Amino acid sequence: MSSLRGRWAPLVALAITAALLAVVIAGSDDRALAVGLALVALGVAANLCLLVHLIGRINRIDRQVDRAHTRLGRQRRMLDRADRRLAQTRKAVAGVRQAQRVDRDARVLGNRAMLGQIQETVRLFTSIPTTAQVPTMGGWAASADLVGALLDEFIERRPALVVECGSGVSTLWLALAARQHGIPTRIVALDHDREFAAKTRVTLARHGVADHAEVRDAPLGPVTVGDREWTWYDATALAGLEDIGLLFVDGPPTAVGEHARFPALPLLEDRLARRCSIVLDDMIRTDEQEVAQLWHDRHPDLERTDLRLEKGATVFRRG
């Protein structure tokens, strides 16, 4: 109703103006002048009415534009929120896909590693007969692929003396290989753990190779290399170990301290045979990698080969 009054108001004003002019004309002596003034007044009134009408339209258009801007702003905000949600969704999807790829790659690598260990285990048991239970390989013990690489080195190089820093399943396999291939060698394993050393001796006896390998109790104590003191095997356990053709370093444990296995080469280098091999296990660990580099810096004459095994290993050779 108010909108109708707004539309008719200019016409009513014009009608009132016309009526007033009619009164003026009727009472005027100079009718021509009165008519002229009336026409001018009507024209002004008509233009004013038109102007009011135009202003009203402009105001309506402005309000429509404002409403359109408001709607557009809401739509833009909705689009912005939709864009953000889409970006978040894409990021989440990308993260899921990346996680799936990583998980898949990890499974593939894990399966390959497991298959590699199975292959080496089968190769060991088919090439070297056993007569009793063999200790589990892998974990903190030597993995099957390392044992295989160690036996390959042993059989190819046929050292007269093998020294192991640490005893266990590798000691058994070396003794079995020595018997199987008729290699005239001494195998001496040093172990700081008396109980574990005793278990290794029992295992050797059960397989009938106690005469091929000796496990020595070697308690850990202070030793000096250069100007630094280390914790390593007691020197009395090294008696009679000369011309070492194969040195396998798998101890002491890293809990002893930083670079726990470093003293092996400096303390035994004068006991190495002219033709020798040194095998360092657990090269996936930073500590052992640093030990290998320290050895290499100390003996650049040794040929170094890094083996891609489950836990990594490095072989140094001379001759």
**Domain shared by 87 and 168, yes or no:** no
**Domain shared by 156 and 76, yes or no:** no
Indicate the residue among 69, 102, 127 that finishes a domain.
127
Give the span between the Cα atoms of 162 and 286, in whole angstroms. Answer: 26
Average pLDDT value for residue range 8-26: 57
* Predicted pLDDT at 89: 78
**Domain shared by 186 and 211, yes or no:** yes
Can you give the residue range of the structural domain that contains 29? Answer: 1-127
* Predicted pLDDT at 144: 95
pLDDT tier at 317, thresholds 50, 70, 90: very high
Tens digits of residue pLDDT in 199-215: 999 999 999 999 999 99
Give the span between the Cα atoms of 61 and 56, in whole angstroms. Answer: 9
Tens digits of residue pLDDT in 114-141: 888 899 999 999 999 999 999 999 888 9
**Domain shared by 136 and 251, yes or no:** yes
Average pLDDT value for residue range 172-185: 97
**Domain shared by 122 and 149, yes or no:** no
**Domain shared by 247 and 106, yes or no:** no
Tens digits of residue pLDDT in 92-118: 777 777 766 766 655 655 567 788 889
Give the span between the Cα atoms of 303 and 279, in whole angstroms. Answer: 12
Is residue 262 predicted with pLDDT exceeding 90?
A: yes
pLDDT tier at 79, thresholds 50, 70, 90: confident
**Domain shared by 151 and 18, yes or no:** no
Is residue 248 predicted with pLDDT exceeding 80?
A: yes
Higher pLDDT, 41 or 245: 245
Angle at which helices 169-181 and 194-206 pack, to 10 degrees?
Answer: 30
**Domain shared by 108 and 235, yes or no:** no
Is residue 42 predicted with pLDDT exceeding 70?
A: no
Give the span between the Cα atoms of 180 and 16, in whole angstroms. Answer: 132
Indicate the residue among 88, 104, 127 that finishes a domain.
127
Angle at which helices 169-181 and 144-157 pack, to 10 degrees?
Answer: 40
**Domain shared by 37 and 55, yes or no:** yes
**Domain shared by 33 and 180, yes or no:** no
Is residue 4 predicted with pLDDT exceeding 50?
A: no
pLDDT tier at 38, thresholds 50, 70, 90: low
Half-sphere exposure for 189 (CA within 13 Å, toward CB): 28
Higher pLDDT, 52 or 162: 162
Indicate the residue among 127, 147, 180 that finishes a domain.
127
Q: Domain total for the chain?
A: 2
**Domain shared by 73 and 97, yes or no:** yes
**Domain shared by 101 and 142, yes or no:** no
Of 301, 305, 308, 319, the residue nearest 159 (C-alpha): 319
Q: How many residues does the chain have?
A: 319
What pTM does this model have? 0.69
Q: What is the CATH number for 144?
A: 3.40.50.150
Average pLDDT value for residue range 37-52: 66
pLDDT tier at 244, thresholds 50, 70, 90: very high
